[in-house]
Amino acid sequence: MTSESKKVPVPCNGVDYRGKVVLAPMVRSGELPSRLLALHYGADLVWGPETVDRSMIGTTRRYNPETKIIEWTRKPSQGAKKPPADIKDSIIYRMHSEKEARKLIFQIGTSNPDLAVEAAKLVAADVAGIDVNAGCPKPFSTHDGMGAALLRSPDKLCAILEALVKNIVPEFEIGISVKIRLLDTAQETEALVRRLVATGITGLTVHCRTTPMRPRERAIRGQLRMIADVCREAGVACVMNGDVENRDQAMRLIQEFGVDGAMIATAAEKNSSCFQTKAQGGLLPWNEVVEKYIRYALEVENKFGNTKYLLCQLIPGKQPAYRSISPCKSYTKICETLGLGDLLDRAREVDLILDIDPDGSGKKNKKTSYQSALAAGGQMSQSRSSTSQVRKDLSERGVKTSSGSQSAETMALLA
């Protein structure tokens, strides 16, 4: 068998990353309705947001036959105060059992082989693959040795991958993959990739930036062909990530650099119709994409705060609608503001299900507010960082405000 034809066998319940243009794992922007939107417009596979192993461990799986949604939930346990006895469970992870079948990759945040296996076993029967995050440079990921911190601990990273391959692949018959960043030199990157592809993984995604680089800095593609060649020698699929704007460009880059697939992040966050080819219609108007997103958000009863955050990515900052939705505190008000009259009945219904005042006060009872604050993977409250992020988003999207009005608008966006 030549190096050109060699392939690590893809388990029968897994997927081959070759020839695929996929949605990147993104915190907040990778929740269920966003993934359904990407699939609707042609994404071949979707990655869920990084989910920390300790958040998954101890969850209970439940399936809703009416909505076809699978949820992994747990009782809130963070904080000094004991939660009320009748508090709702926190939803840690959710997926659509039919629309995401064989298309969803679960990305795990971990720095411990045993915990990685324990967490992966909880979702492995329902997803198409397990991906280890070894590329996120943000503090919430790296502080415990996860994410990009693993690039400095190759022995640990390899041990995690080997443990997953040994304990997940035979039982659940899905593939294991890893997402990394470039190291300081091509030689260091090559040495790491050679170790990773020898662990038994079926796929490797490389974000073409180094750990210190930010999204505004142009991706570095000079090492891509070398990485692709190393992966091909081992029979491992190689996916590129970084400044991929649409499917047509992705296919050109795949040919140019000899990689097997491409991952889209920021462009998909702004307009998921980027997964369409130009022949299929290409990039659609933002209002058409927004309406489709809201329909999915209502269908799966998505957390309102997450929906509003995504709308602020999908609606261009200079559009009047961007400012108009800022004071909205319910799905009903969002649909009224955007003129989606046919969705009003469902919006009001979802507001009531989520214990939100449809008329716009946004008030919840105490126990629901408590549950909401502790949900989303058991992560610590990040209101300060969230406020800062929204202010940054406003600036980057061309929205000019005085400090006073910006503060008010920021708080509205976070409501």
Can you state the angle between helices 383-396 and 304-314, rounded to 10 degrees?
A: 20
> What element of type H or E holds 129?
strand 129-134
The conformation of residue 54, written as its DSSP 8-state character, comes to: H
Residue 261, beta-bridge partner list: 239
Nearest to 163 by CA among 125, 207, 130: 130
Q: How far apart are CA 23 and CA 221, in angstroms?
A: 19
Q: What token pair was written down for 337?
A: 């503001």
Q: In what order do the strands lie in the sheet with 60-64?
A: 60-64, 69-74, 90-96
**At CA 246, angle to CA 241 and CA 248, rounded to 5?**
110
Q: How many CB atoms lie within 10 A of CB 365?
A: 8
The conformation of residue 91, written as its DSSP 8-state character, comes to: E
Q: What token pair was written down for 353?
A: 């299900």
Amino acid at 13: N
Does the CA dihedral 393-398-402-404 come out positive or negative?
negative
**Catalytically annotated residue among 136, 231, 312, 328:** 136
DSSP 289-342: HHHHHHHHHHHTT--HHHHHHHHHHHS-TTSHHHHHTTT--SHHHHHHHTT-GG
Assess contact for 276 and 323: CB atoms under 8 A: no
Which region holds residue 222: left if phi is over 0, alpha if psi is between -120 and 50, else beta?
alpha
Question: Helix, strand, or coil here: 124?
Answer: coil
Q: How far apart are CA 393 and CA 406, in angstroms?
A: 11
Q: How far apart are CA 43 and CA 349, in angstroms?
A: 30
Nearest to 45 by CA among 208, 253, 205: 205
Amino acid at 49: P
Q: Specify whether 136 is catalytic.
A: yes
Q: Token match 């443990």: residue?
A: 163
Does the CA dihedral 117-25-243-138 come out positive or negative?
negative
Active site residues: 136
